[in-house]
């Protein structure tokens, strides 16, 4: 059995920088037509020069692969319309992080006072620049995303023309918010469609499944699966593939992030097949919805998968992937560009 996916898109991807960028960028660029690249480097990507330079480094790292890095800025409340107009053609979105809530987010937003944020967010709405949000409070870890829904509601109501992307959602509360506001959208990861907190810490601790937002309850996973498998028009695939060297994961103070980039399409194909779901829905989840939501036209890329066993490598250049050493039922047979 074979399956063809056209111009797959990853709408939430971490490529890091330096040696790590060169070690893992091709894993995404090989099978995806493009990806929305997160800006939380050290220091964060926060001006036009940073964006252009980072994009150049990504293009260099992917070599001959046909792939579009859709660049983002690290949100700052003092961005004004003049600045945003100057950088508009270089970016696809702007990413907002609550301060200190995840990897390299110390320079994020400390409060969500609407009037303080109004100049920047109003200008973004006027210029049609989407706002991507890591939606967690600093409360009890299992409740952080659900608590943040009230902030999404406040922002969606105050800026009805601003396209707001709830990133890597993990809860049924976030899904319920999708249909209450026309301007709320969401990305969903592979790992949150497959695991719960029990898989991370229910037995022996599994550091390579530890991420932020942390995996939640079975009922949350089922709610995510329902909208993804049904290709809800406001959700799209965003891997949140977040590489860390093995020594940073298998350590005290385990780094947060699940590395799924090299196996994303194989795992999603297997998941949709297992749930007897139309592969047309997979195409919408992996590309069609994102094209419509973001208004992008990706590079043409045909990815042909076949029902053939694939053993996931133990490591990719020092980074341990999800399902390392395990067998998947689908393999990438061929990739046709152009």
Confidence band, pLDDT 50/70/90 cuts, at residue 109:
confident
Cβ pair 80, 123 in contact under 8 A: yes
270: pLDDT strictly greater than 90: yes
User: Tell me, what's the pLDDT at 110?
Assistant: 82
User: Tell me, what's the pLDDT at 165?
Assistant: 98
User: Tell me, what's the pLDDT at 166?
Assistant: 98
Flag whether the pTM goes above 0.95.
yes
Dihedral angle sign, alpha carbons of residues 84, 151, 289, 23: positive
Query: pLDDT for 68-105, tens place per residue?
Result: 999 999 999 999 999 999 999 999 999 999 988 888 77
Cβ pair 249, 230 in contact under 8 A: no
Dihedral angle sign, alpha carbons of residues 39, 43, 49, 52: negative
Task: In whole angstroms, give the CA distance from residue 8 to residue 164.
Answer: 22
Query: How does strand 301-306 pair with strand 2-6?
Result: antiparallel
Instruction: Number of helices (H) and strands (E) in the chain: give both, helices first.
Output: 13, 14
- Domain ranges for the chain: 2-337
CATH T-level fold of 2-337: TIM Barrel (3.20.20)
Specify the range with the lowest mean pLDDT, choosing from 101-110, 234-243, 327-336.
101-110
337 is catalytic: no
Query: pLDDT for 128-182, tens place per residue?
Result: 999 999 999 999 999 999 999 999 999 999 999 999 999 999 999 999 999 999 9
């Amino acid at each position: 059995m074979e399956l063809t996916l056209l111009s797959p898109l990853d709408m939430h991807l971490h490529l890091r920088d330096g040696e790590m960028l060169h070690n893992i960028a091709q894993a995404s660029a090989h099978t995806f037509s493009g990806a929305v690249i997160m800006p939380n480097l050290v220091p964060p990507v926060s001006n036009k020069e940073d964006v252009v330079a980072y994009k150049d480094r990504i293009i260099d790292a992917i070599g001959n692969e046909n792939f579009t890095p859709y660049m983002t800025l690290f949100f700052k409340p003092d961005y004004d319309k003049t600045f945003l107009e100057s950088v508009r053609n270089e970016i696809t979105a702007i990413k907002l992080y609550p301060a200190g809530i995840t990897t390299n987010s110390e320079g994020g937003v400390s409060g969500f006072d609407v009037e303080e944020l109004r100049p920047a967010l109003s200008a973004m709405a006027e210029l049609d620049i989407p706002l991507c949000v890591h939606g967690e409070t600093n409360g009890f870890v299992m409740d952080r995303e659900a608590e943040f829904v009230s902030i999404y509601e406040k922002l969606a109501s105050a800026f009805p023309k601003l396209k707001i992307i709830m990133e890597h959602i993990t809860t049924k509360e976030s899904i319920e918010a999708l249909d209450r506001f026309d301007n709320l959208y969401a990305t969903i990861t592979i790992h949150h469609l497959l695991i719960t907190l029990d898989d991370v810490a229910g037995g022996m601790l599994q550091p390579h499944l530890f991420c932020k937002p942390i995996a939640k309850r079975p009922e949350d996973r089922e709610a995510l699966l329902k909208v993804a498998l049904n290709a809800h028009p406001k959700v799209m695939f965003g891997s949140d593939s977040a590489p860390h060297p093995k020594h940073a994961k298998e350590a005290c103070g385990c780094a947060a992030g699940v590395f799924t980039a090299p196996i994303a399409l194989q795992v999603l194909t297997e998941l949709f097949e297992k749930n007897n779901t139309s592969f047309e829905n997979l195409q919408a989840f992996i590309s069609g919805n994102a094209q419509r939501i973001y208004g992008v036209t990706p590079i043409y890329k045909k990815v042909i998968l076949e029902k053939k066993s694939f053993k996931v490598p133990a490591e990719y250049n020092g980074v341990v992937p999800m399902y390392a050493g395990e067998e998947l039922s689908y393999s990438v047979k061929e990739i046709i560009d152009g």
